[in-house]
Chain A
Amino acid sequence: MQRRRVLRLSALSLTAVAVAAVLYGFILSWQATRAFDQRGWDLPARIYAAPLELYPGRRMDAAALISELQRLGYSSSPDAARTGSFERRGTEVALRTRSFDDARGAHPSRRYVLRFDASGIRSIYDETGNSVVIAELDPLPIGSLYPSHGEDRIVLSPNEVPPLLIEGIKSVEDRRFDEHFGVDLRGIARAAWVNLRSGRIEQGGSTMTQQLVRSYFLNQEQTFWRKLREAFMAIALELRKSKDEIAVAYVNEVYLGQDGARAIHGFGLAAQHFFGRPLPELEIHELALLIGQVRGPSWYEPRRFPERARERRDRVLQLMHAADLISDDELQAALQQNIGVTRQSAGGYFAGFLDTVRRQLRDEYDAADLESAGLQIFTTLDPSVQAAAERAVGIELDTLQDGRPRLEAAVVVTTTHDAEIKALIGGRQPGFNRALDAHRPVGSLIKPAVYLAALQSGTVNLASPIADEPIQVQLQNGDIWTPGNFENEQHGEVTVARALVESLNMATVRLGLQIGPDAVADLLERLGLDRRPQPYPSLLLGATDLAPIEVAAVYNTLANDGFNQPLRAVRGVLASDGRLLQRTHISMRQAAAAEDVYALNTALVEVMRSGTGRSVQQKLRAPLTTAGKTGTSDDLRDSWFAGFSGEHLAVVWLGNDDNDPVGLTGATGAGRVWAGLMNALTTRTLVQPQPQGIELAWIDLDTGLITDAACPQAAHLAIRHSDLPLTARGCGSERTRIGSRLRRFLDGSR
């Protein structure tokens, strides 16, 4: 009786264990398959920068074009015979584009010949000898959209993976890949034997499938139970997926390197990271280098350890040759090559900009739509502008960081006429996107809104007098606020223009209170802010927190003669079958009268000429007319600069994440980065179209009198025609001021 009960209990517990094991097996199998499917090649959407548009008349020399082509991974080839190549012959450049799709349809590969002269591109001809008005190049891929884990990949479809790559990987990592069922028992036995004999772990014995599973579940600890789980999952995966699918998944997933904080997974991204070219264009020795990285991405890192990387590559080439994948000649030729890795990671990691794209898409689409197969997303990014911005931040912060180890930066650059975001930097370290999410007090950057509101009211013009004298403001809670000037100076009666040009706080508050903070808050909303700021008196000096992108929205309206458009990061989205899903349009509304914005901008030009921005303007190398404003918040915690040319607007912020003062003003901090950026761009000078009813006059900034260009404190400012006629006086002499004349006239006296 006892024995039967014991037997029954044993049978029951064994059954229970068996059932549990089987259930656990199903769970593991489900986990492995799910991880595989989520990363399937057909899931992510691909993201592209704006394509380079070449046209006769473009101010670009041959060297600059070659540079852009190289960024796209084009290489030099005799007569530009290969797709993705160019040839320079003196003042002529021949190039053959890669084929691509965009919102206008399929663009086949085309060959163009461009002729250059002293001012830029003179003419463009295609293969048939016809002259071409716009030659579009294939756009630079800048990332993939992976809704499930948000990581970066350049995911390849099966027909984009070179067969030689897969066979090469097998020959090095998993010779019996095609035969085994997920684990390679012979391989494990061999590895165990080798390790036993040498007394340490030398060989892994892991199949590609096991490696794939391992990479899905980050923990790299190789405990016995982990290995067992991995083995089981690998077997389960092999039951559910074909060898081809697993091989392609491996190509897209395997860890191959590190770029700062960004992990390089997959051969597509690795090709871009190490060689700056798409994987299908790599040559045998380059593929071999990448394959060699699998075994030790840090140990064999080619930029840090070029010797080791080369040795490893050569070993891979030998293995490939032994497996009859490459001929004797090919082997010898490949062994002769240098490793050929670019000096630094090309193709760029536009983390801040990609973040902006993802958010704009999330606002417009369901997540389900974005996860559908093979979307192509065409963005507004200009890689050369992004490179200029990153370089300017890098160079300036190298110096500015002395004594400021945690100094951070954010930059937004747009083309003003269409509000397209050309570049965006979220910070020095990826992670927190300060351009979008760091809301910081804007300080004096707010002043143009105050002065525009004043001009709009019709009660003042740029030459009107305003007192830059102490003022006490009673706040709602009963406290008294006493705003002061930078360095506590006061200037007595000045012109409205001068108060803006020199960013005088007391005058600004006086003016702002006359107009009313409500009017300023309303205007800010119309100029492009998503929400209306609180209309406290302190708003007049910028005691409101804005993110750099919000500042850019407001200033872009000013740069656009008062026409407001939402800033755009996406131009269009294409479904996998080439169907156009969405195209954004230039769409604007008039936020402020052109005359008032014109007048304001003449003052902002003066800010750069003789005001708080002059040290920034002086750093500009080309004779460029710009308009801008410096911004410094309380205790020098935030350094801002916003300024525009006739083509580009750039907003720069410097500060500490923990809000510690940085000891930099708008001009000495952000302004330097801005100047560095503008110097690196090809940009048009600012020429504002003059509206009807507006006159330009030389105004003495101190007295408000009309004078001429010879007067040292004169500025070329705009005054409404209706505020004239006036008596012209000499430079610096008193009596008749335009503003007070107008006031007396309005008061009815004569």
Chain B
Amino acid sequence: MKKLNLFDYIVILTVVAIIAVIGIKIASNGPMPLTTQSTKSYQSALVSIRVESIRKVSTESFHIGDTVLSTETNGIVGTIEKLEVLPFMDKIEKLDGKVVLAEVPERYVLIITVKSSLLERETGYFAEGITEIKANSDFRIYTKHVATTGKVKEIIFE
């Protein structure tokens, strides 16, 4: 066999790089916490999520004690501590130009308070170190029985 030339070395390096990428992909299957719990401290917090224009049957599918997960990360957000159901009000601009709020039939607002363990980093707060929680951001969540989309209303640290 002839001596190795520059092209052979390029091929060898490329193959090693591909093996390294595949190895890293296998090793990192599943959600990866941004850091380990042993090196950073978690804080207990209450995260309020406001879901608007939801049907009654959906409000009845959430229960105190249910585990809430994020649809994006499939990571646990926390446990439901409190549920509050309110009528859903929406804007109407009347013929006289006035804007009023009126109740929408058969639609409700659900405020879900979730007890969560949040990791504080420079860029934000992360539930269980995985799911970023930001006030006023849209948030797709689910439990075993129901899925919906809401908005994070507030984060209160205990």
A binds B: no
